[in-house]
Amino acid sequence: MSNPDNIQDFINPVGRYHGEFTPEYLAFNANLQEFANRVSLICGLETGGKISSEEAYDNIKQLWKQLKASKRALLDRERPPDITLPDY
């Protein structure tokens, strides 16, 4: 019997993040990877005849809207300036 965690890792692989680290960049990267994985699954379902082209398009369009909202919330807002503490 297979381990459910291994199945999830297989279905939704997550790559390591290699960019400049901020919590916002890391969160957006995770959202971007999830978007890509879901689009791939939707394309496979459409290619295999399990869903229609119209349904695939609508699903991908909804995922795109979610990704855009994620970008606005995480990356497009003003970042606070770095705080430097005075030397005493």
| Dihedral (CA of 65, 32, 34, 26) sign | negative
pTM given for the model: 0.75
Largest Cα separation within the chain, whole Å, is 69
Which DSSP category does 16 fall into?
P
pLDDT value at residue 15? 77
- Residue numbers in the chain where pLDDT is lower than 50: 1
What's the alpha-carbon Rg for the chain, to the nearest Å?
18
- Each domain of the chain, given as residue ranges in start order, spans 30-75
pLDDT value at residue 7? 77
pLDDT value at residue 26? 92
pLDDT value at residue 80? 61
pLDDT digits (tens, 9 = 90+) for 37-56: 999 999 999 999 999 999 99
Give CA–CA dist 73/70, Å, rounded.
5
